[in-house]
Copies of this chain bind each other. A is one copy, B any other.
């Protein structure tokens, strides 16, 4: 699912990335390229490439004569999808999930408002299609099908906003929503009120009522935040 086996250095990253983001090597820790290369049984060139990637994510800093030092969390590129995946897979998953949900609550209402102004007719159609898909699968433990439409819905909203920065958060939202049904407890069918809200957002966007689209989406994200508070108060 992730960037995965894209070459040997990718395999190294699949192990080293999660380890660093999980805090196995606390900030300030010093790693040596040669030692790592030995440990992972790869050549130094491959290990150097892996270090370069970690460096570009601001997870580590490589300095001569001292080695590869782990940077403090505050400096990490927390918007890097790869970093997000690593952190979501690790120990501070709850913390990360909260951060991302707060981010959603800031972004999505504005994005929905912009979508109401900029969405094409095809995007409106896809919006209602997915909203209806959510309704159709909102009862009877069809969580998987529901999720597909939920993710698609939010992705369309973000894309239709016309802002590339918003659009790029589609993957993040997808990750959050998917994680919610997979890892988090979600035995019950989704909240009927939330489903209705999605339908109404689709309406508002289609009608170009940006104010209403914004407010309704705010309700959705507030709901997501409350849901988080209930699960992990």
Contact = CB atoms under 8 A, between A and B. Distances in A.
A103 B167 CA distance: 11
Interface string A44-74: 0100110011011100000000000000011
A36 interface: no
B9 A164 contact: no
A11 interface: no
Question: How many residues of A sit at the interface, in one of the four size bands?
Answer: 35 or more
Nearest to A96: B164
Interface in A96-138: 99-100, 102-103, 105-107, 109-111, 114
Interface stretch (A18-26, A77-85, A205-213): A77-85
Q: How many copies does the complex hold?
A: 2
Contacts of A164: 73-74, 78, 99
A144 interface: no
A196 interface: no
Contacts of A99: 163-165
Given A79-B80, A81-B77, A165 B48 contact: no
Interface of A: 9, 45, 48-49, 52-53, 55-57, 73-74, 76-82, 99-100, 102-103, 105-107, 109-111, 114, 163-168
